[in-house]
Chains A and B, each alone.
Chain A
Amino acid sequence: MTPATRAEICAVACAEVWRGDGEILASPTGVIPTIGARLARATFAPDLLLSDGEAMLGRGTWAIGERPAVIEGWLPYRAVFDLLYTGKRHVMMGPSQIDRYGNANISAIGDYDRPTVALLGVRGAPGNTVHHPTSYWVHRHGPRSFVAAVDMVSGVGYDRAAAAGPAATRYHEVRRVVSDLGVFDFATPDRRMRLVSVHPGVTVAQVVAATGFELAITGEVPETRLPTPHELELIRTVIDPRDARAHEVTG
């Protein structure tokens, strides 16, 4: 078996965000997080619920671009909203900008009234972040994605939730950020982003240089774990046999 690629390491790092979550809906966006969620359920998080990306909950493990063989529930958009307000969900979104407190932007780059780049709109990010755990996947880690301040707070970070009061902090949790360079969390006294691990082949200096704010770095930074042989086989033969992951992360 050839060694794990960066994309495969990232997929496993994404899978890890759902470890221990139990019987909740895992909602990934993007190819690598989708591989991660299906991998997590196929291995160490068997109770997770997964949507087919349309309106069905599927059982089993199915490939990127395909549909689940067994449907276990109906989950139209209205039911997703109902479910997320109960808190039984952990979403992984793909922001264009993220800052040191985990504020995330998927709406617009630049001045809001006349943005230089109009993106999708805030979508469900404001609601997701104040109702249940949120993680982020940034496929291109650089000073333009890891920024000092995001232009339009769509997903709420720790400082903004605290400023908004108890109704905002009550169910708020930004669990982890995974990028193509490393893994990050907010396990610091002031809830600033901390470097948890660097992917094999990446240096701490590289991560620091690619980040537009000061990261919390405590002690020796470990390497992100490698996929197990079983995980690699699942990714390569069952979940992503057509290698869609290589389009999101190269190397």
Chain B
Amino acid sequence: MTEAEVVAELHSGMTIGIGGWGSRRKPMSLVRAILRSELTDLTVASYGGPDVGLLLAAGKVRRLVYGFVSLDTIALEPHFRAARQSGSIEVTEYDEGMLRWALYAAACRLPFLPTRVGLGSDVLRVNPLLRTVASPYDDGEELVAVPALRLDAALVHLNRADAHGNAQFLGPDPYFDDLFCMAAQRAYVSCERIVTTEELTATAPVQTLRIHRWMVRGVVEAPRGAHFTSCDPDYGRDEDFQLQYANAARDATAWAAFRDRYLDSDEAAYQAAVAT
């Protein structure tokens, strides 16, 4: 598939999960395609980085579900800060582990999963719909019941995939990409390179194949598709560009110029612009 074909299968108002972690291995070419689309009113769930920042800046997000939003080497995401500080979005702020539980409950087709996480914290105060549940066993402990977060779609970026949707991470961490895919009605994988199935295990152990075709609806070949986030070992984070992004995000005029130069055309133009 192409990025445009993926976006054509999405609708305004959907709940969309985005894989990766912070400013690491984000499906940025798919995010950029959403920026250019008519999609709006989205609920976005993410261990957030610039994917969240860009979607917020473009006004695509109604509600954000997150444990954090950060650019890693730049601690605070400027668009996220602006959106939070202006009160322009609804938020579901969870502990990182609660977000995992919410996705896992959805993947397991359970209504909720119990945990201690959240007890005593203001996560329960700011998410008044969260309920607790009493253990039916002798301990009688009162635990948080994290509700399933069912995704209409998941977007993840992997290093390699075959055309069937078997996909492989070659970097240090799979993050929660498999979980996002399993929690979603439809999962879309972008990857650095589509290879034959044989090639996937020719030089890397089979344990790196964390995404399986039964989880996946479509595959997009997107070389440097995670730019400017990291996609180890294919490439590291583009720190210079990330700094340029963060600086531009702090000023309306600078942001308009950034958008015009990098985002308003198409992916090929983006990749050409960032290569110069």
> A160 vs B70: C-alpha distance in the bound complex, in angstroms?
27
Given A81-B100, A125-B95, verify A120-B70 contact (CB < 8 Å): yes
Q: Do residues B67 and A78 form an inter-chain contact, with CB atoms below 8 A?
A: no
Let me know if A190 is at the binding interface, CB within 8 A.
no
Whether A55 touches B173, Cβ cut-off 8 Å, given contacts A118-B76, A122-B67, A130-B119, is yes
Q: Report the separation of the CA atoms of residues A199 and B89 in the bound assembly, to the nearest whole angstrom.
A: 44
**Does residue B180 face the partner (Cβ distance < 8 Å to A)?**
no
Query: By the criterion CB–CB under 8 Å, are B67 and A54 in contact?
Result: no
Provided the pairs A114-B85, A120-B68, A125-B95 are in contact, do residues A131 and B119 lie with their beta carbons within 8 angstroms?
no
A residues less than 8 Å from B116 (CB atoms): 127, 130-131, 167-168, 170-171
Which stretch from B120-128, B147-155, B260-268 is at the chain A interface?
B120-128
Instruction: Give Cα A125 to B122, complex, Å.
Output: 11
Q: Say yes or no: B120 contacts A164, CB within 8 Å.
A: yes
**Cβ-based interface call for A66 (8 A):** no
Is A211 close to B, CB under 8 A?
Answer: no
Please give the number of chain A residues whose Cβ is less than 8 angstroms from any Cβ of chain B in the complex: 47
A118 contact set on B, CB distance < 8 A: 76, 80-81, 84-85
Contact A152 B84 (CB under 8 A): no
Contacts of B173 in A (CB 8 A): 54-55, 76-77
Chain A residue with minimal CB distance to B126? A112
A 77-121 binary contact with B (CB < 8 Å = 1; else 0)? 110010011000000000000000000000110001111111111
Query: Which residue, A54, A55, A76, A157, has most C-beta atoms of chain B within 10 A?
Result: A76
Tell yes or no: B21 within 8 A of A by CB.
Answer: yes
The answer on a CB contact under 8 Å between A123 and B67 is yes
B233 at the interface (CB under 8 A from A): no
Contact of B96 among A115, A117, A127, A164 (CB under 8 A): A127
For A157, the chain B residues whose CB sits under 8 A away are: 120
Interface flag for A234 (CB, 8 Å): no
- Residues in chain B near residue A172, CB distance under 8 A: 120
Task: Determine which of B95, B141, B174 lies in contact with A124 in the assembled complex, contact meaning CB atoms within 8 Å.
Answer: B95
A126 touches B176 (CB 8 A): no
Q: Is the CB of A152 within 8 A of B122?
A: yes
Nearest-neighbor residue (CB-CB) of B80 within chain A? A118
Closest to A164 in B: B120
Partner of B119, one of A120, A123, A154, A164: A164
Residues of chain B contacted by A130 (CB below 8 angstroms): 116-117, 119-120
Most buried by B among A108, A114, A126, A152: A126
A167 and B86 contact, CB distance less than 8 A: no
Residues of B within 8 A of A116 (CB): 85
Is B188 interfacial (CB 8 A cutoff)? no
Q: Are B120 and A121 in contact (CB-based, < 8 A)?
A: no
Supposing A78-B100, A115-B85, A118-B84 touch, asked if A126 and B172 sit within 8 A by C-beta, the answer is no
Contact A114 B119 (CB under 8 A): no
Contact with A along B160-197 (1 / 0, CB 8 A): 00000000000011111000000000000000000000
A120 x B172 contact (CB < 8 A): no
Q: Does A251 contact B (CB under 8 A)?
A: no
B118 at the interface (CB under 8 A from A): yes
The answer for the CA separation of A122 and B66 in the assembled complex, in Å, is: 9
B86 (CB) vs chain A CBs: closest residue: A114
| Chain B residues positioned under 8 Å from A154 (CB to CB) | 121-123
Chain A residues lying within 8 Å of B117, measured Cβ to Cβ, are: 126-127, 130-131
Asked if A201 is at the interface of the complex by the 8 Å CB criterion, the answer is no
Q: Kindly report which residue of chain A lies nearest to residue B66, judged by CB atoms.
A: A121
Q: Does A50 contact B (CB under 8 A)?
A: no
Q: Are B87 and A113 in contact, CB atoms less than 8 angstroms apart?
A: yes
Q: Which of B69, B118, B173 has most chain A Cβ within 10 Å?
A: B173
- B62-78 contacts to A (CB < 8 Å): 66-70, 75-76
The answer to whether A117 touches B123 (Cβ under 8 A) is no
Residues of B near A153 (CB, < 8 A) are 120-122, 125
- A sample of 19 more A-B contacts (CB under 8 A), given A85-B97, A114-B84, is A76-B174, A84-B97, A114-B86, A118-B80, A119-B76, A121-B93, A122-B122, A123-B96, A124-B97, A126-B121, A127-B97, A130-B116, A130-B117, A130-B120, A161-B119, A161-B120, A167-B141, A167-B142, A168-B120
Q: Which residues of B contact A (CB under 8 A)?
A: 21, 48, 66-70, 75-76, 80-81, 84-87, 93-98, 100, 115-123, 125-126, 141-143, 172-176
A-B CB contact pairs (8 Å), 9 listed: A77-B176, A118-B85, A120-B76, A126-B95, A127-B116, A152-B126, A154-B122, A154-B123, A164-B119
